[in-house]
Amino acid sequence: MRCPIKVGNEAELLVAYTTGTMTPAEQESFELHMSECAECRELAGAQKSVWGALDLWKLPPVSDEFDRKLHARIAEEARLPWWKRQWDTLSHPGFWLSWKPAIPVGVACAALVGAFLLHGPMHVPMTHNVAPAAAPAVQSQQDAQKMDVNEVERALDDMDMLKQLDAPASAPARAPEGS
C-alpha cells in the first residue's frame, strides 16, 4: 500500500479506518502500512482520540419550554410589518458580510461598462476611394469612368437601403438592383 499522506487521500482513509467503514481487506492493508509508517500511525491515533471524545460528549437536554418559545418568536416575527422585517435583515451585520465578495466584482463590471460606453465604437464617416494627392495626374479615361460608375452604384444602393428603413413594416422590401 502506498502511503496515504504522500498520495493525498489520508483524510478519507483515516476517517474510514476510525469509523470502521473499511472492508476487512482494506483495514488489514492499512494496519500493515501503519506498522511501518509512524506518521500514519500517529494520525490514526489522533483521529481515534477525536472520535472517542465525540462519542463521550453528551448533549445538554433541551428544555421543555424550547418549542413554545421558538413558536412564540416565529409568530412575533410574522406579526411585524414587511418593511420592518426587511430593515431588520438589512441592518443585521452578517447580511453585508455575505455580500462582501460580490462588491469588487460589481465594481469591476461597472468600470467595464463605463469604459465601453465612454470609449465605444464611434461613428466614422464613410469615405469614398479618392486618389491621394501624390497620385499621378494622368489617369486613363476608362478608369475615371469606372470610378464614377462605382460611386453612382454605391450611392443608389445606399438610397435603396434608406428607403427600406423608411418604408412601413408591412410593405415588402425591394431587392436592390444590380444584385
38-56 and 24-36 are packed helices; what angle lies between their axes, rounded to 10 degrees?
A: 120
* Among the ranges given (46-50, 111-115, 134-138, 158-162), the one the predictor scored with the smallest mean pLDDT: 134-138
Q: Is the dihedral of CA 147, 152, 157, 162 positive or negative?
A: positive
pLDDT at 134: 47
Instruction: Identify residue 54 by its one-letter amino acid code.
Output: L
The pLDDT mean for the chain works out to: 77
103-140, pLDDT tens digit by residue? 788 899 999 998 888 876 666 566 655 555 544 544 55
CA distance 38 to 125: 79
